[in-house]
Amino acid sequence: MADKRVVLTEEGLKKLEEKLEYLKSVRRLEVADRLKAAIALGDLSENSEYDDAKNEQAFIEGEILTLEKQIRNSEIIKADVSGANKNVVHLGNTVVIKDMEYDEDETYTIVGSTEADTTEGKISNESPVGAAILGKTVGTVVQVKVPAGVLEYKIMEIVK
């Protein structure tokens, strides 16, 4: 089974690489020190500090493997607003959409699921809203099915 490609912006790739470096160079050493201290306490069969440190070590190693795989399978996206495509929503674009029910504008950047973060205004291309507006043009009204019903958004502008 082929590994799933991970769609990232250059900024998202940099963040993953920084997190990986932190886990390898700082967290691994901290956990190794905790393990040494726990082993020094003696009897490991009833040593909760040792068990906790081993569990944390396993978690960190799993996270390192996940990040390495994501980086290895990453595909860098760049916003495409050149030529005839400047009015079509693509991965990497920042888009202003109007919530038709509340008559409010919202601004989102369409990114891969790995770096989606609504607090930073980044939504995944796989999210209901992201998937609905991808490939659509400025002025298009899209309907998005969500558990609470159907939401309507109008694509107002592609910022970049």
* Statement: the pTM of the whole predicted model exceeds 0.85: no
Class assignment of domain 83-158?
alpha beta
Q: What pLDDT is stored for residue 2 in this prediction?
A: 61
State how far the Cα of 148 lies from the Cα of 157, in Å rounded to an integer: 26
- At the topology level, CATH places domain 6-76 in Helix Hairpins (1.10.287)
Where do you find CATH 3.10.50.30 in the chain?
83-158
At residue 97, does pLDDT exceed 90? Answer: yes
CB 97 within 8 A of CB 156: yes
Q: Any idea which residue has 């043009």 for tokens?
A: 137
At residue 63, does pLDDT exceed 50? Answer: yes
Digit-coded pLDDT (tens) for 9-37: 888 899 999 999 999 999 999 999 999 98
Where do you find CATH 1.10.287.180 in the chain?
6-76
CB 114 within 8 A of CB 8: yes
Residue of 34, 15, 3 whose CA lies nearest to 116 = 15
CB 90 within 8 A of CB 80: yes
CB 95 within 8 A of CB 136: no
Q: What is the mean pLDDT of the chain?
A: 88
Identify residue 137 by its one-letter amino acid code: T
Digit-coded pLDDT (tens) for 115-153: 899 899 999 999 999 999 999 999 999 999 988 889 999
